[in-house]
Amino acid sequence: MAIEATAGGQSAFDQLVQEARPKRTVAQNLKRFARRKPAGAVSAVVLILLALIALFAPVIATHDPIRDQVAAERLEAPSSSHFMGTDNLGRDVFSRVVYGARISLQVGFLAIGLGTVIGMIIGVLSGYLGGKLDLVVQRVVDVLMGFPFIILAMLLVVALGASLLNVGIALSVAIVPRVVRLSRSSTLSVKEEVYVLAAVTIGVSLLRMVLRHILPNTLGPVFVLATGALGGVIVAEAGLAFLGLGIPPPSPSWGGMLNIGARGYMEAAPWMVIFPGIALSAVVFTFALLGDALRDVLDPRLRRGDS
Amino acid sequence: MMMEEKSRYGGIANFSTRADPPLGWDPMRSGSISVLMPAGSIFGMGNMIRQCPDDGTAVCPGVATEWSSNDDRTSWTFTLRDDVYWHDGVKLTAADVKFWLDMAVFGVTVGENSRRPVSWNFARWVESVEAPDDLTVVINLKSAVFDFDQLLAVDNQIIAHPRHLMQPEIDAGNVNVSPLDVGLVALGPFYLEEYRPGSVAKMRRFDQYYKTDEDGNQLPYLDGIDFYITPDPSGMDTAFRTGRLDATARGSGFQLTPEREAAILSTLGTERVTILEMAQSSFWALAFNTLREGPLQDVRVRQAIHLWLDRPELVQVTFGGFGKMTGMFDPDTAWANPGLMETPGWNPATKDADRQQAKALLAEAGYPDGFDAEFMCRRLWGFVCEPLVGQLEDLGINIDLQLVDDATRAARTLEGSYDMVMSGPTLALPSQYGSITSSAGTSATADPKHNDAKVDDFFVRLASAGSVEERIEIAQEMERYVAVEQAYGAWLYTENTHTVVREYVKGIQVPIDNYRRNLDFATVWLDK
Amino acid sequence: MGTLLEVRDLRTEFNSESGIVKAVDGVSYDLQEGETLGLVGESGCGKSVSALSLLRLIPNPPGRIVGGEVIFEGQDLMKLTERQMRSIRGNKIAMIFQEPMTSLNPVLTIGRQLTETVELHMGYSPEAAVRRSVELLEMVGIPDARSRLSNYPHQFSGGMRQRVMIAIALSCTPRLLLADEATTALDVTIQAQILELIKNLSTELGTAVIIITHNLGVVARYADRVNVMYAGKIIERGTADEIYETPRHPYTRGLLGSVPRLDVDREDRLASIEGMPPDLDRLPPGCSFVPRCPHADDHCRAEMPPLSSKDGTEHVYACWKGHEFGPLELVQTQA
Amino acid sequence: MQKYIARRVLLFIPTLLLASVLIFGILRILPGDVALAILGQEAVEGGGGYTETQIRELREELGLNDPLPIQYAKWAWSMVNGEFGGESIRSTEPLSSIIARRLPVTLQLTVYTVLLSIIVAVPLGVFSALYQDKWPDYVLRMGAILGQSMPNFWIALLLLLFMVTQIGWSPPLGYSNIWVDPFHHLQIMIWPALILAWRFSAYMTRITRSGMLEVLAQDYVRTAKAKGLGQQLVVRRHSLPNVLIPVITLGGLEVSTLLGGTVILENLFGIPGLGQAIVEAAVGRDFPVVQSLAMMLVFFMLGLNLVVDIAYSYVDPRVRYS
């Protein structure tokens, strides 16, 4: 019996492949993940909390992070009116840390989103088309992987000028080569799968097959890569800020609050520098935890074979 | 003359500098503290004459003993000492000084590569230089300058270019030869023993140094100075607090804030630390661009900003109180406009009234609820610009703060692509006429943008003023016109430099007016 | 010939997401010295797990040996310390595995993987170990053994590698050799050679062998006695002839029925056993073959039949109706 | 095997060329003009102004007016003939001496970090693999992830603060290479190396752990156990060689992010390495320095990857005798 593409565009062949795989609802998957990787589950919850804080920053923050500059209340210790004290310009540190969550997530997701999309497109194309393009792309990836990305990011920020968008673009460079390599190898492996070749021989277009089967293969590892890298990007923004090239003041990025100027106050007003540092490290730690847990679950190689 | 009961001689001081001296340590190419701080001990300060250590406005002898001008002050004659030697033992002659003056004033051209003349102030007046004999130098001027000696005596105009070593290089075509290229051989109290870029420059005592102290003892007292390169302020503070350094570096970003000073005192205690307070003698101003379409073309808007800004609060917030409000000149010197600090804009007592008037002026000019403005600021000065943003936003001006690096800043200054720019610290009168034109006049490189010929006219009159009193009078008239009447900028404050030395470091001549002076450290000794 | 090995009520479990899997659910059998015993059943019936349990090689987690005794040369292996157990593995009891391609360490030479066993257990000096290794390779039929010692596994074919595995296993003349699907991955011609090799060497060295396979032909030809396993239990045991002539348990009958026979004409369809092997973590009460057994009744569903025989012979089976079945008709038409 | 190496080496040259074009390109899109940057910097600090003519002359002097391809050709040629791209505009120091002075510093710091990381990471990786999902595994992973979460300059600051306030000691100043004054050198270098090693060993532990888990599940490990080998021998003789091969290649790749880390710590500890120089040069638009130092870093990194690739194929018999 010939397998034709049914009206809905999904060939009977695909349905067969779909049905063979045991169906698990999303809830079951989450429960399974939580039981097997408690640390991962906790970090996922913390990150959702963080996203909420970032979203409702105006509500949570007690002051305007930029405009509320009261010279008289300069460098005050944490108190009931200022939970985390005030900085050298008399601004409320707690509000700045809360808004900082928003900015760090923005720069993180901007860089990772951009990097993943660009990386996937280039990776799939170079994997799918192969030939000269693939060779050049591979060499560029080698160079980018070989290049200390903080210097590349720095050069881009110096070139484009320091703004949240530009810092995001510069930091997306960190993940592009890795995503290209990942999606390219997935494309290549999908292209060689027997069932793909079989499907092609009976008329299904290779591109549709590659796209239909590339995503599930790549999304897993890319998602793991992205979660881990998100933390890395936020730390990198702090690195750039240390060099004076991070998201420019007065916007309260956590990295910015740790830069050269602020560090002079480490002893006189430790709260001004310690709290953003803790916030930043905690978020990056949580992202890394989630990435680590996902890697153990999603990375097929790591699943211990039951003998 | 009996020696002090305790000999001042001996010991090596561990000082700090914030970076490797750029541009081959060449004072002709950079007057930055990064050059002068370590180089001062090798080059010595000034040239034939220099600013007096304790009074910047007075002139003291350098390698010359006497100097005088002819009647109409168009030709100046200097008599050199005959006991001055380069560090490699070669004697200093008038020909060396002529070589140095010619290079600075006229530059050097060999074949098609040429060296730029130096933008030092005295250079613009020099017609020609002669060295009739080994110990006499005559400088002929294009026109009369009654205080030419004051112009020549500026501390960072340093003879650091040995003719016997540089001439061969220049003849061979290397016109941009720098002191570093020829091993930093110079005339100062110390010679360079070892320079490891990025880590340390070791200077050792030059026994044939020509200067002595008031009691006739041969200078310098120290056996040597090690200048450690500490590129990070926190790293420097740490080293000072654990006794690795005897002094902290000067320069923006490195001079102490109250908090860092308190941290140092908390570790070492006040009895083991001496705080040196020096003025930066340079003035921060918020310069406006009146050539660009927009609210700032209206003088009422500019005056409103001038009245609104609370200078004392800015000093408190930006420098933690280490500074004072000023106009275009240091209020504690003879140049200050009498009573200016009590006038609206500066006077803290009338601040509330001034702010009401500022709001009124804005409304009158047609901007009752403010306007948008692009505020360009050098990245390194982010900490200075942020507080300003806060105050301007309270006035209702929506500020787009743009932190840029030096290249972009220089480019946009030429194009005038900003509404406001943070200007300073630029040296004001009296020593640097050049910078005045660039800081307030209509030249392309000036920060405040306007085409008001009247301002340029002030500078012409200043340059040809007959006496110091006349010059002060013209300067004050200009200040009232530029800073108040037209408010081409809002002159704000000056930061005074706080650095610290260990209690046993004695004999540092603290330059009250400009921290880039008295860096030869010849009189420094260690009391331990 | 005394009893070499006695396995009594061996239980091994694995905990998986969906609950406890009773891979080996009370297995008992004995093995005489020099005897060749067959352990046969579908994949997933627990035969490999029972072999690994003998050597206590069950990875923990997820697996655990929860009960039973394994008396080997008078000692209960389950009571030994890990150190004592190690002196038995590879020395007294040796094992070869299914995948020759991956059972040898790719980055160590064949020589190294041979000498390390004799050095460990027999205290051979390196030179003596090398001489012994050459002997072993020649014994298993590998040409110019000496030069091949410095080769790496990837330079050998599948069959050759299985020969090396056998050489390694027999290097300390073990009392018992466990062959876990040893020839399954090889093509047929090589399979026969390897099995002949194992048979000859085991008789020559007096080594008892347990052949673990799903291939009934192999068991018929080489095993003295046969244990048929299903869902973690032994459901029938007897000599090869008894099992093949009059299989008592419906599962065994089903197995034999699904094997194509040369002496039968080929038009008829092969009989197959309905359904899939049961989930070991949700076994029904009573006989676990009930869901697939055409003769099942309430009694089978209620109670698990013990391993016994109506007429007291050695040919025992775990089925209430076992005695009712006669010899297997050669031609069985499916209703 | 020779074919494999030859192909890798042949690929090395075009990659290097591509890298040089990439670096040269990025620097050309920097807004603002180098001449202006230098004059601007001088004006601000020295107090002197500058004129239009001076800008044009400086631009001419720096050869900024030649067409781009010529500038690139000149630079590429000078990189090869030992001049390493001319001299720094800001310090007029020839690049050959800058590189000769600064590259060894960064190399030493990188070597210390990698060595420290491997000494720590391999045993920990093996240990946490053997105790997968038991408490030692968790503790080690938490410690590792913590190391990767905190910005390394922040850790450095806390460390320096602790030293000053609690111990009253800080690393000495005036860096000198190890062959000049080893004790002085190590007192400075140990701290940034430890901080960098914390993050790098965290990564190395993770890949050793996942490599180990994969190897422990292999058939030949089961064979080894069946031969009666103890855990110690199974790990050391049978598992480790198979784990180290991928760990070294992945480790080689990650050295580039390690180099990034040095950039930030060099300033804080007064270490005159490549990172410090690149940062200063980038901000000050000293593009010859940025170009040449960035090129050296990429050359060093690609070279390291090539060496690791070749070593990998040599160590892995499956490739050596293919």
Residue-wise pLDDT for B202-232, tens only, equals: 999 999 999 998 888 999 999 999 999 998 8
Task: Write down the pLDDT at residue C63.
Answer: 86
The kind and range of the H/E element at B494 are strand B489-502
For helices A206-242 and A164-172, angle between their N-to-C axes, nearest 10 degrees? 120
- Kindly tell me if the per-residue pLDDT of B102 is higher than 70: yes
**Residue D207, domain extent:** 96-315
- Kindly tell me if the per-residue pLDDT of B434 is higher than 60: no
From the CA atom positions of chain D, what is the Rg in Å? 24
Question: Which of A75-89, C301-315, D112-126 shows the lowest per-residue confidence on average (mean pLDDT)?
Answer: C301-315
**Upper half-sphere CA count for residue C320 (Cβ side, 13 Å):** 17
The Cα diameter of chain B in Å comes to 77
Average pLDDT over residues C21-50: 87
Chains contacting C (3 or more CB pairs within 8 Å):
A, D
Q: What is the rounded CA–CA span in Å between residue A50 and residue A77? A: 25
Average pLDDT over residues C74-102: 89
- Which residue ranges form the domains of chain C, and what is each CATH number? 36-58+82-223 (3.40.50.300)
- Kindly tell me if the per-residue pLDDT of B106 is higher than 80: yes
- Please tell me the distance in Å from D298's CA to the nearest CA on chain B: 22
Question: Chain C residue with minimal CA distance to D314?
Answer: C107
For an interface test with B, give the residue of D33, D41, D162, D187 to mutate (most B CBs within 10 A).
D41
Average pLDDT over residues D270-286: 83
Q: A185-217: per-residue pLDDT in tens? A: 888 877 777 777 777 777 777 677 777 777 777
Task: Write down the pLDDT at residue C266.
Answer: 64
- Kindly tell me if the per-residue pLDDT of C319 is higher than 90: no
Binning pLDDT at 50, 70 and 90, where does residue C312 land? confident
Q: Which residues pair with B440 in a beta bridge?
A: none
Highest mean pLDDT among B431-445, C139-153, D79-93: C139-153
Q: What is the rounded CA–CA span in Å between residue B80 and residue B61? A: 10
- Would you say residue D174 lies in a domain? yes
Q: Which residue has better confidence, C237 or B406? A: C237
Q: A93-109: per-residue pLDDT in tens? A: 999 999 989 888 899 99
Q: Which residue has better confidence, C219 or A29? A: C219
- Kindly tell me if the per-residue pLDDT of C229 is higher than 50: yes
ipTM, two decimals: 0.80
* A304 in C contact zone (CB under 8 Å): yes
Show the tokens assigned to D286: 């000293």
State chain D's mean pLDDT as an integer. Answer: 83
Query: Which chain D residues are closer than 8 Å to C57 by Cβ?
Result: 222, 225-226
Task: Write down the pLDDT at residue A4.
Answer: 39
Percent of chain D past pLDDT 70, that is, above it, reads 90
**Can you give the pTM of this predicted structure?**
0.82
- Kindly tell me if the per-residue pLDDT of B475 is higher than 80: yes
3-state secondary structure of B352: helix
- Kindly tell me if the per-residue pLDDT of B38 is higher than 60: yes
Average pLDDT over residues D145-167: 86
Q: What is the rounded CA–CA span in Å between residue C47 and residue C70? A: 15
Task: Write down the pLDDT at residue A264.
Answer: 76
- Would you say residue D228 lies in a domain? yes
- The three-point CA angle D8-D10-D16 to 5° equals 95
Binning pLDDT at 50, 70 and 90, where does residue A6 land? very low
Q: Which of D291, D195, D191, D300 is nearest to D252 (CA)?
A: D300
State chain A's mean pLDDT as an integer. Answer: 79
Q: What is the rounded CA–CA span in Å between residue B472 and residue B478? A: 10
Task: Write down the pLDDT at residue B415.
Answer: 83
State chain C's mean pLDDT as an integer. Answer: 85
- Would you say residue D46 lies in a domain? no
For an interface test with D, give the residue of A33, A43, A140, A242 to mutate (most D CBs within 10 A).
A242
Q: B260-277: per-residue pLDDT in tens? A: 898 899 999 999 999 998
- Would you say residue D225 lies in a domain? yes
Q: What is the rounded CA–CA span in Å between residue D221 and residue D244? A: 15
Task: Write down the pLDDT at residue A301.
Answer: 47
What is each CA distance from B519 to B46, B277, B395, D135, in whole angstroms? Answer: 10, 15, 43, 61
Binning pLDDT at 50, 70 and 90, where does residue D33 land? low
Helices assigned H by DSSP within chain A: 12-20, 26-36, 38-55, 57-60, 93-129, 131-146, 149-160, 164-172, 176-192, 194-201, 206-242, 260-263, 270-298
Chains contacting A (3 or more CB pairs within 8 Å):
B, C, D
- Closest partner residue to B405 (CB to CB) among A66, A158, A267 is A158
- Would you say residue D90 lies in a domain? no
Question: Which of A95-99, C2-6, C184-188, D100-104 shows the lowest per-residue confidence on average (mean pLDDT)?
Answer: C184-188
- Would you say residue D22 lies in a domain? no
Binning pLDDT at 50, 70 and 90, where does residue B373 land? very high
Find the CATH number of the domain harbouring D202.
1.10.3720.10
Q: B279-335: per-residue pLDDT in tens? A: 765 678 999 999 989 999 999 999 999 999 999 999 888 888 888 898 888 777 777
Q: What is the rounded CA–CA span in Å between residue A159 and residue D30? A: 4
Chains contacting D (3 or more CB pairs within 8 Å):
A, B, C
Question: Chain D residue with minimal CA distance to B440?
Answer: D49
Q: Which residue has better confidence, A17 or A147? A: A147
Q: Which residue has better confidence, C332 or A89? A: A89
Q: Which residue has better confidence, B49 or A20? A: B49
Q: Which of C70, C95, C84, C68 is nearest to C169 (CA)?
A: C95
Return residues 177-236 of A near D (CB < 8 Å). 231-232, 235
Total number of domains constituting chain D:
1
Highest mean pLDDT among A208-212, B9-13, C260-264: B9-13
Interface contact D90-B14, CB threshold 8 A: no
Show the tokens assigned to A113: 């989103």
Task: Write down the pLDDT at residue B246.
Answer: 96
- Kindly tell me if the per-residue pLDDT of B140 is higher than 70: yes
Q: What is the rounded CA–CA span in Å between residue C236 and residue C150? A: 47
Average pLDDT over residues D185-198: 93
- Kindly tell me if the per-residue pLDDT of D204 is higher than 60: yes
Q: Which of A235, A170, A196, A259 is nearest to A13 (CA)?
A: A196
Highest mean pLDDT among A26-40, C249-263, C295-309, D234-248: D234-248
- Would you say residue D163 lies in a domain? yes
Task: Write down the pLDDT at residue B207.
Answer: 93
From the CA atom positions of chain C, what is the Rg in Å? 21
Task: Write down the pLDDT at residue B127.
Answer: 92
| Cis geometry, peptide bond prior to residue A221 (ω within 30 degrees of 0) | no
- Closest partner residue to D264 (CB to CB) among A158, A239, A301 is A239
Q: What is the rounded CA–CA span in Å between residue C307 and residue A234? A: 67
Task: Write down the pLDDT at residue B208.
Answer: 93
- Would you say residue D10 lies in a domain? no
- Please tell me the distance in Å from D302's CA to the nearest CA on chain A: 6
Task: Write down the pLDDT at residue A9.
Answer: 42
Interface contact D237-C108, CB threshold 8 A: yes
Task: Write down the pLDDT at residue C292.
Answer: 82
